[in-house]
Amino acid sequence: MGRLLLLPLALALLIFSQIALAGGNEDKVVVNSYVSIDVEGIITALRGNTESTRNALESTRDTLNSGIGGLSSAVLGAFSAYAQDAVRSFSHPLTGLTVFLISHNPDVGGMKASWSAVVSVISALYVLMFIVAGLLLLVNSASALERENAKGWAANAIAAIIAVNVSFALYSLLLEIFSAITAGIVAKAGTEIFDSALPGAQIGLLAAYALSLFVLAITLFARQLFLLAGAAILPLAIFLYFVPPLRGWGMMLFNLVGAALVMQLLDALMLSAAIPLALQAPAGLGAFIAPPLFITMALANCAITAFALFRAAFTSAIPQKAQVIISHALPAPPAPQTVNVPGIDSLNSQISSLIDALRPLRR
């Protein structure tokens, strides 16, 4: 019991003693803190987290940059691959068509009806040739020159009849002969220049190859169309050639048909000459020969056509100029001696008027 009383008493003395000491000293009470917190580990941890965060951000940035750059490269590569495949898909069948057009001529069997129609029209003109020959012989029989002229008209009419009727068979045979020659040349030379240009070529070379091949194919296709029409043109050319005043026009048509045939042979020879150069060229350079070759062949085809047209126009102009020059240079032939036959004067006057109307057709 006494211990219990001493404990509150001691506590009260302790409190009052502190109050008494505080009241006697007016200075402020300074309480020193002896608590020490070590934050170095926290700072180190924060620095480590910051560094790792920075590294993660830089890695993310590099990943995004490489991803964006890789995406553009992938898109460009996909587009380039698609363009190359498209050009190859376009060039491959065009290559086969070009080789076929060079080595083969068209089958003109389907033009037999057109040929028959032209021959039917021409057949009606044979009568005019014989009428002209007969009138020249009848009116100017006293002149040896006019008699020869009349005989020439008759001979030309007979030759035209024969040549026109066999023109279709001769034309078909001529096309087959040229097809056999050019097919043999192309088969012997091969088509390595076409095969070496497509695999592994870049888009620029493929585009140049396809464009030049397309231009060449256009000229070859135009040639095929003209050769088909040639089945109907040839009989007209033959008839015009055997009519002396119209011989220049016949020569023009002959020149065009001949140019179309020579064009095929020249293309085959150029192709056979270029293939050894492509095979002997260093690796990768043989493909560069194809586009210039195709452009050269197309230009050669156009040049042959232009030369044929120019030569035809020049040839058709020569006979008219020569006729004018000769008529002015040579003296007029003597008047033919006629024999007066009773009762035929009126007939001679009528025939003379008809001859005057047909005089432009004379040689």
Residue 169: what pLDDT? 92
| Residues whose CB is less than 8 angstroms from the CB of residue 59 and which lie 6 or more positions away in sequence, other chains included | none
Least confident of 77-91, 248-262, 263-277, 304-318: 77-91
Residue 70: what pLDDT? 56
| Residues whose CB is less than 8 angstroms from the CB of residue 190 and which lie 6 or more positions away in sequence, other chains included | 275
Q: What is the pLDDT of residues 222-281, one digit of tens each?
A: 999 999 999 999 999 998 888 888 888 888 889 889 899 989 889 888 888 887 776 676
Between residues 126 and 60, the one the model is more confident about: 126
Cα–Cα distance measured from residue 199 to residue 192, given in angstroms and rounded to the nearest whole number:
12
Q: What is the pLDDT of residues 161-212, one digit of tens each?
A: 899 999 999 999 999 999 999 988 888 877 666 666 565 566 777 788 888 8
Residue 151: what pLDDT? 76
Cα–Cα distance measured from residue 162 to residue 108, given in angstroms and rounded to the nearest whole number:
20
Residue showing tokens 């060039």: 91
State mean pLDDT over 328-337: 44
State mean pLDDT over 30-42: 51
Contact 185, 266 (CB under 8 A): no
- The encoded tokens of residue 45 equal 């941890």
Cα–Cα distance measured from residue 152 to residue 133, given in angstroms and rounded to the nearest whole number:
8
Helix 345-358 and helix 112-139: axis angle, to 10°? Answer: 140
Q: What is the pLDDT of residues 203-214, one digit of tens each?
A: 777 788 888 889
Residue type, 112: K
Closest among 214, 273, 271 to 94, alpha carbons compared: 214
Confidence of residue 63 (pLDDT cuts 50, 70, 90): low
- pTM of the entire predicted model: 0.62
